Structures are given as structure tokens and as C-alpha cells.
Amino acid sequence: MVKKSVQEAAERAVRLPAEQRRGLILQAATAVFAERGYAGATTDQVARAAGISQPYVVRMFGTKENLFLEALERALGKLTGKFRSVMADYDAGRLAGQVAGLDPAVGPGRPEQLVPLLGAAYADLIRDRGLLLILMQSFLAGHEPVIGARAREGFLGLYQLLRDEVGLDTDGARDFLAHGMLMNTLISLRLPEMYGQDATANELLECTLRSKLQVVVAASKGD
């Protein structure tokens, strides 16, 4: 029966190695949770986004809570990974072209030079749809016993990274986090999608995102 096999090809997901499938589901979950929050997202929405059936999502991750946790873990890992790789590049002198005066001995020190680099790296992460936003959603889920606890740890971990590895002082780390939270808020509010349509929104976006505006606007519009 040709008809049946066509139907199957359309409705049935191709068999994939479990690890690869997990990755795809986590990616889909990140996007869905980022948009709708932990409570607002359904495992069925994740399943559709990943192109598989709802029970299979649950089967692979046990519970919705655990799925969120794993997506959160992945996001935290990618963020800290990116930050550390920027620092490694900087310390190895591989960013010579992008930084004005590269000698921390004179002029601005390493932390001060790293801040704009890390800020740009942060904004760049929005390409991975939902990565920053699922973090933000976890921060707003402080009342959830398991997820909230992990979110607290993760947030404090970021602060420690800024302080101990980047070398920022207390106020510097705070300011970096503050601007990160503002960026997340603007993205969550979907202001980048209004770019060009509202003068106030434009002003705020330009001033907040500076060099990374194009990236963020493009990513938000589903590029």
C-alpha cells in the first residue's frame, strides 16, 4: 500500500540514535520553555517542536520537571562555556583585532577589557533560540522547589564566575548581571521584533544592545 507508507513517512519520525534525539528534544524544549515558561509550556508543545510524539518526550526524560532541568543545565553550560572560551581567547591574545589596547599593564585592566567582549558574547547567544530566555524563566520560577533551587545556584554561579574568573569587583559584577537581566527582559518582551516601528523601543534597544542589535533583531525575527 503506497498510501500507507507515505502517511507513515509523514507522521512517523525517522529512527535516530537516542543521544541525538535527546539533543533535538532538549533544543526544542529550550525554545518552548523559553517562550511560555515552565508552567505555561506543555510536553506536547515540546514534542511537536521536536517532531515526535508527546509520550516519547516523557519517556525519554521521565517528567516535565526533569526535562526543564536538563534544558536549564544545558543553557547554563553553554553560557559559562562561552564566557570561559572568550576569556581563554583573550588571555591567549587571540582577540588582538577586537580590543583596543591589549596590554593590561597599561590602560584598562583585564576585567574592564573583558566586559564588552563578554557582553557581546552574551548577546550572541541569542542565536541559540531560547538559551538566554530559559535561564530567565528559571529565575522567575523561584517558588518551584527543585527548579528554583537550581536556578539560585546557577545565578550565584554566574556571579562568582564574573567575580572570581573575570576578576570584576562586586559592583562590576552586579552591573554586568543587571544589564544582562535588562537584555533578557527586552528580548522576552519581544521588543526586538518591534524594531523600526516604535521610536521609544528603538531608542531603548539601541542603547541597551549597541553593537549587537542586528544579531538580536535578526534572531528574534526567526532568522
Tell the smallest beta-carbon distance from residue 143 to a second copy (Å).
Answer: 5
Q: Which is nearer to a second copy, 20 or 197 (by Cβ)?
A: 197
Site for DNA in 22-61 (CB under 7 A): 41-44, 51-56, 58-59
Nearest to DNA of 22, 174 (CB atom)? 22
* Residue 114 partner contact from DNA, a second copy, none using kind-dependent CB cut-offs of 5 to 8 Å: none
143 sits near DNA (criterion: CB under 7 A): no
Binding segment for DNA (CB under 7 A), chosen from 9-17, 154-162, 176-184, 213-221, is 9-17
CA–CA separation, 173 vs 196, rounded Å?
A: 32
Closest to a second copy by CB, 25 or 41: 41
Q: Is 10 exposed, middle or buried (0-12, 13-18, 19+ CB in 10 A)?
A: exposed
Supply the minimum distance, in Å, between the C-beta of residue 38 and DNA.
9
Spatial CB neighbours of 58, under 8 Å, sequence gap ≥ 6: 43, 64
CA distance 173 to 162: 6
When CB distances are held under 5 to 8 angstroms depending on the partner's kind, the choice from DNA, a second copy, none that residue 208 binds is: a second copy
Instruction: Give the residues lining the site for a second copy (CB under 8 A).
Output: 35-40, 136-137, 139-143, 148, 151-152, 155-156, 159-160, 170-171, 173-175, 177-179, 181-182, 184-185, 188-191, 194, 198, 200-201, 203-204, 207-208
Determine the interface stretch with DNA among 62-70, 77-85, 96-104, 192-200 (rule: CB under 7 A).
62-70
- The answer to whether residue 138 forms part of the interface with DNA (CB under 7 A) is no
- Residue among 59 and 190 whose Cβ is closer to DNA: 59
Residue ranges in contact with DNA by CB under 7 A: 11-18, 21, 41-44, 51-56, 58-59, 62-65
